Each structure stands twice: as C-alpha cells, then as structure tokens.
Amino acid sequence: MIKLINTDGSRAKNLLPKVLGAAALSVALSTAFMGTASAQDLADVEVNSYHVQGNVWVLTGAGGHVTVQIGDQGVLVVDTQFAETAPKIVEEIERLAPGKTIRYVINTHAHGDHTGGNAIVRSAGETIVAGNEAGDVGATFEPGAEVIAHENVMLSMATANPPLPFEAWPTEVYIGNKYDFYFNGEPVELLYQGRAHTNGDSIIFFRKSDVIAAGDIYVTEGFPFIDQNNFGHINGIIDGLNQIISITVPLEQQEGGTMVISSHGRLSDEADVVEYRDMLTIIRDRVQYLIDEGMSLEEVLEVGPARDYSNRYGNGFISTDDFITAVYNNLSE
C-alpha cells in the first residue's frame, strides 16, 4: 500500500479520495510535453552537475533541474526529469557519490519533465526502512528508494490517461501543508503551496545547506506556466514566492546567502526571487485593474499589461499572451 502521512506525522487512512477528472489533465499535459521532448534526441542530452553549497548539488539536462543532496546516509534526489534521461541522472549521481545509495526521491509536482524518470531513479536506490508495499491494484513495488510527494501529485498520476506506470507513483504521500524529516545531518522540509503552478506543488528546503529547490513555482527563463487544468493560480505562485523570500537570508549587499534552485533557469539568491515576485505582482495587479474596468480578455491583450517585461520573459516556454490569458482567467474566477 502507498503510505499517506498526515501533517502531524500520523498515518492517514489508506484510501484514494475521489477527485475531479480535471486533475488528470496535469499529467496528460506532461505527457504531451514529454512527447515534444522525445522528438528531440534525448539520448544525446548531456547531464551536468554543479555544487550549490553544503550537501546540495544541481543537475541539468532536459526538463526540470534535478536537486541532489549527498551525505553519510546516502543520496536524496528532488525530481527525475524524463525516463530517457534518467539513466544519465543515475550515472552522474554515482559519479558524484561513489558507493552511496539513493534513499529518497521527492517530486515537487506531477509534470512529466519532473517525474518521468521516477521508476528508473528509484529502482537504482534502496529504502532505509523495510521494503516497499504492494498497491491495491495488485502490482508490487520492487525494492527501491522511497518516493515522496504531496497527495495531489499521486492523484494526478493515478487518474492520468494513459495511466502512469505504478512503479513511478509516490510510495509515501503527505497530507497537509508540511512534511519534514532529518537526513544527511540536516532537516529537510517539504512545504505545500496550495493552488500555485499546479495544485500539488512543494518547495524543498535543506536547512543546514541553506538551499531551496523551488520546482516550477520559480523559473528564471520566462513567465511561469499556470496549469489551469490542474487548478494552478497566479496568486498561489506569488504566495509561494513570498514563502521562499520569507525563508531566504541574504549575505551582505543582498548577494549570496540562501540559494534557490529554479527548475528552469539559473541558480538564484533572495534578490533574484524578489525581482521575479515583484514582476508577477505588478502584472497581476495591472490585469486585475483592467478586469475591474470591465475589459474583455481581447481588450486586455491589446493593452499589453506585460509589455515592459515581454522582451525579458516572453521568449520562454510560455508566451506573453498565454501568460496574460492565464492570469485573466484566474482573476475572473
């Protein structure tokens, strides 16, 4: 069975709650994204690693960045990219941490460029505690690393069409706003973000290393993707960035200090996150003002409330018009 953990650490009822069909669309969208990535030659993607600070490294390749914590107890991995690149992720981890075992995999959310390699990465590891348990569909997990995520991540995977392999599902699911444990000499905190990029986002805080893995709540290379099919909301993204800012502590002159790993883009510090938060807040407030003035979506797009940010952020995965459309739809709910 898949373990459901309450915020207080107690085990919840081992039941999958009923969910709206729309929750499955998050993973369906991920499948489409994976298809696009697979059209490229993922076999030739090069995986590179960079030391962030403390026990934490970041791996880049295709899809979302992978965060890796290494210590005496083994290896913890945040997100797993695609199935096609996962063997190279494992290979790079083995190079960085020879003789150490992958003990935990954490998913920041359900999208396929963050979870596509789950089965491969977890099968390369081993759980510290007793073996994993069978699911109610009759399948069994082979021995492997523990996979942890918020309950909504599992619900998205469980209701996907086509269904994701059972071996890729989380083996431990937390319910509530926070889940934490101690590993490799430091507290590791999973902080649930509600309706943000999706409805299942967690940011991961390595307290002693002073590093945050932000998932897709924070991307430096463009406007954020608001997954409306999975209840994403601009206000939740801004709230998530505010929580990151509340955790981070800068060094002198606002440089360095707590480091923030964006899922797509460069390594950042608090000042970078503040700048990104401010940009989203300004655009959100402009769109809200135009809605209050009675403007339609077409009229708002014509005004261009993100015009002054478009050159910098409008050339990424999400176009300026697509971003404004999502914000307009959110604020019109």
Q: From CA 142, how far away is CA 122, in angstroms rounded?
A: 9
Query: What is d(CA 90, CA 96) in angstroms, rounded to the nearest whole number?
Result: 10
- Predicted pLDDT at 18: 31
Q: Which helix (H) or strand (E) covers residue 5, if one does?
A: strand 3-6
Q: pLDDT value at position 26?
A: 38
Question: Cα–chain-centroid distance for residue 225?
Answer: 12
Report the C-alpha gap between 229 and 311 in whole angstroms: 27
| Greater pLDDT, 43 or 74 | 74
Q: Where are the domains of the chain?
A: 3-274
pLDDT score for 77: 99
66-71 vs 102-106, strand pairing mode:
unpaired
d(CA 124, CA 87): 9
Query: Which pLDDT score, from 0 to 100, does residue 163 have?
Result: 74
Residue 257 has a CB neighbour count (10 Å cut-off) of: 16
Digit-coded pLDDT (tens) for 172-231: 999 999 999 999 999 999 999 999 999 999 999 999 999 999 999 999 999 999 999 999
The answer, yes or no, to whether residue 147 has pLDDT greater than 50, is yes
- Amino acid letter, 16: L
Separation between Cα atoms, residue 50 and residue 233, nearest integer Å: 32
Average pLDDT over residues 128-155: 71
Rounded Cα distance, 151 and 156, in Å: 9
Tell me the average pLDDT across 299-319.
96
Q: Which residues pair with 274 in a beta bridge?
A: none
pLDDT of 289 higher than 70:
yes
- The mean pLDDT value of the chain amounts to 87
- Measured distance CA(61)–CA(220) in Å, rounded: 16
Q: SS3 of 310, please?
A: helix
What is the arithmetic mean of pLDDT over 77-102? Answer: 96
* Residue whose token pair is 């503040």: 274
**Which sign does the torsion angle of CA 228, 231, 236, 237 carry?**
negative
Alpha helices in the chain (DSSP H): 25-39, 86-96, 112-115, 118-123, 151-158, 234-247, 270-292, 297-303, 310-313, 320-331
240 in Cβ contact with 195 (< 8 Å): no
Structure tokens at 226: 């608001």
Pick from 222, 223, 175: nearest CA to 200: 175
pLDDT tier for residue 128 given thresholds of 50, 70 and 90:
confident
Residue 38 Cα distances to 41, 59, 62, 301, angstroms: 7, 19, 10, 33
For the chain, the farthest-separated pair of C-alpha atoms sits apart, in whole angstroms, at: 63
pTM, whole model, 2 decimals? 0.86
Other C-beta atoms closer than 10 Å to the C-beta of 48 total: 10
Architecture of the domain made up of 3-274 = 4-Layer Sandwich (3.60)
